[in-house]
Chains A and B, each alone.
Chain A
């Protein structure tokens, strides 16, 4: 019984980890790129070079911990103008966005 519970717990942990690592499908990736360029762009600039919000270029983010960047997207940053985006994306999608930002964010595809 105890083993079963431990096995179940491990399975849940493994599922959670793989869910966080999963990459969104192509259609969703397109939506997320558009969201970042257009709506995050309201404050951070469509080119992500900053505006009222800080720059989000690969250069600007270099050396920053990915996990806290991801938490900033998902939960927002109280006391600043950064709102939480949890209504519009999952934690794993926030992780994916941070990964793409740190690598140099893709341009929007043709619509």
Chain B
């Protein structure tokens, strides 16, 4: 009798084990957005493979992801206002809320407890409990919100496209947000915070220049840098807005896309003066420094989105021009930067390229891939 009971128990235990995924960490995981199908792929950057796919995330035609600090959950912000908490270990949706009509992205607080969405319609930001996705508070803006970035102290900086302002909201008491407002300039299109969390930059579309706020000295307000970088020349048409994030900073310099010019601007972050510019193949969209800062990778707006160029930060020269596929929408470095993953929307592939030799290491299939996000972002301010 006892033996029979034991064997039943053993069988039950085996069945339970069969359903539990093998024990593993999250440091080499990531999410690839498959924009046309409302689906994400969960990827492993060590095995260079797709582990699983998770469906049902709504309209991902523009999407971004931030990670819980343990790297287990990815918060996916979809275009349709959907906020989906994806469990990377169990490959399933943990929670999902529709929080706006038209959304552009989000950020996570320094302590990992608050997830904030930035919205176009209705314009403003909303703060959610990172665990439950319960709405904690909101700051309406009457403008499209761009460039949301987390700052130390559970504060968040963002820019208002229509109102031309930078706002800093303090969510240290998440149900009672306190907001400071600073005039910034004409049509800020995106923003970034430097990796130390001190300076917030908003790129301006409506004028030549970048707005800069020292968040350690907010009493000084925002000032303009790189004024008149277009030198009065007529702008080239911009067929896709550039994106800014903290990876624009390599060593002491920031590398920023010029608007309406086929150039990358180099700015010294000690003086905030331009120290050089690099001619490139088209309108830069992403200008991303490798984790070691040795090279900066650039992709481009339509119709030059089949190209990727690499700038050597020692010489300020282009050292490589690649054609990784049709419509290269995004790039992401492995945590220490030995590889870069590139999504080619119209080839339905993600290419993995060695950052030292520029050789293609692997190619993964993906349906209309756009954004690529690795869990190493979890530990970085501004991601």
Contacts and interface: CB of A to CB of B under 8 A. Distances in A.
A83 interface: yes
Interface string A43-85: 1011101111000000000000000000000001000010110
Contacts, number: 56
Given A51-B104, A81-B238, 4 more contacts: A46-B35, A46-B62, A50-B120, A52-B120
A52 B161 contact: yes
A84 B61 contact: no
A42 B239 contact: yes
Given A52-B161, A84-B237, A42 B302 contact: yes
A46 B59 contact: yes
A47 B59 CA distance: 8
Nearest to A48: B61
A72 B381 CA distance: 40
A43 B190 CA distance: 13
A76 B237 contact: yes
Given A42-B241, A42-B302, A76-B237, A51 B102 contact: yes
A38 B302 CA distance: 10
Contacts of B301: 42
B79 A81 contact: no
Contact of A47 (B79, B104, B146): B79
A45 B61 contact: yes
A18 B148 CA distance: 49
Interface residues of A, number: 18
B144 interface: yes
The 5 nearest A-B residue pairs measured at CB: A46-B61, A83-B237, A42-B240, A39-B302, A83-B239
A39 B345 contact: no
B239 A81 contact: no
B189 interface: yes
Nearest to B285: A42
A43 B241 contact: yes
Interface of A: 38-39, 41-43, 45-47, 49-52, 76, 81, 83-84, 87-88
Given A39-B302, A45-B61, A50 B121 contact: yes
A42 B302 CA distance: 10
A54 to B, nearest CB: 11
Interface string B68-81: 00000000000110
B153 interface: no
8 contacts: A42-B239, A45-B59, A45-B61, A47-B79, A51-B104, A52-B241, A81-B189, A81-B238
Q: Is the interface of B mostly helix, strand, loop or mixed?
A: loop
A81 B146 CA distance: 15
B67 interface: no
A31 B61 CA distance: 18
B193 interface: no
A47 B61 contact: yes
Contacts of A38: 327, 345
A47 B61 CA distance: 8
Nearest to A86: B237
B205 interface: yes
B20 to A, nearest CB: 37
B241 A81 contact: yes
Contacts of A84: 237
A22 B189 CA distance: 38
Interface in B183-240: 187, 189, 205, 237-240
B303 interface: yes
A89 to B, nearest CB: 12
Contacts of B80: 47, 49
A71 to B, nearest CB: 15
Given A38-B327, A39-B302, A41-B61, A46 B241 contact: no
B61 A52 contact: no
Contact of A51 (B35, B120, B239, B345): B120
Nearest to A84: B237
A81 B187 contact: yes
A81 B345 CA distance: 24
A72 to B, nearest CB: 13
B95 to A, nearest CB: 24
Contacts of B36: 46
B104 A88 contact: no
